Amino acid sequence: MTRVVVVTGAASGIGAAVARHFGRLGAQVVVADIDVAGGTAVAEEVGGLFVRTDTTREEDNLALVAAAVEAYGGLDFVHLNAGIGDGGGFGRDDYDAARQHRVLTVNLHGVMFGLHAALPVLAAHGGGSLVVTSSMAGVGMAPFDPVYAATKYGVIGLVRSLAPPWQAQGVRINAICPGFVRTPILPPEAIDHIVGEGFALADPAEIAASVAEIAAGEEVGQAYVLQAGRAPEPVAFPRLDLARADA
């Protein structure tokens, strides 16, 4: 059984649901978020540890992993879930370079810092599993938020590129690509629109159960689409064989 779990962006939404899921399984859960009140409440609920973490700061990611090891003696599973949306567009009225930079920093650089902090520690403690939250926007398109989509494509590129070398050290890396999920990242008007268009909204607890299933599996370098009422669906990436000079 997974014993020590770290979840970023765990004060609400998918992250909180993942923390609760593993807490119910008896794991020692480390809740990481910049939201002190929300994160503390989730940590108290699961009998775990809250560590205030700004994932855009490399030192915060390193301190988070160190706190987990100091408190519980090791590390078995990490879910790099923290992320934000609304990077804006490229039109005259919605282009905002500062806002775009913030989305890039949280969604891509924050994941890179988390991977850098967690992977060596997972390997040193006998291996384990790491899941990164991407999005269906990372395998499709999001005309309403192209910068967000770009970061989620980037996350999958990281996962697929890092998975083979770290598999050799006993660490399994995968990504999840949730569809529409009822979380605080979706404002009420967006939820009303999604439901009105006939799309199903997944509950965060449903996503959390899929995350636990993926974490316990043996696959590596996969990106799983998670939608309401469906089992995790691996994305069918093209096989890229390098051409041989003598072929």
Q: Which of 72, 148, 210, 224 is catalytic?
A: 148
Q: Indicate which residue of 72, 135, 210, 224 is catalytic.
A: 135
Q: How far is CA 246 from CA 239, 241, 242, 243, in A?
A: 20, 14, 12, 9
Amino acid found at 181: V
- The residue with tokens 């859960």 is 29
| Dihedral class, residue 28 (left if φ above 0, else alpha if ψ from -120 to 50, else beta) | beta
CB 29 within 8 A of CB 23: yes
148 catalytically annotated: yes
One-letter amino acid of 182: R
Active site residue 224: no
174 bridge partner residues = 131
Q: Are 83 and 136 in contact (CB under 8 A)?
A: no
Sign of CA dihedral 228, 141, 211, 160: positive
Our measurement of the distance from residue 229's CA atom to the centroid of its chain's CA atoms, rounded to an integer in Å, reads: 20
Per-residue DSSP letter, 158: H
Q: Can 95 be counted among the known catalytic residues?
A: no
Q: Which of 12, 129, 152, 210 is catalytic?
A: 152
Q: Which residues are catalytic?
A: 135, 148, 152
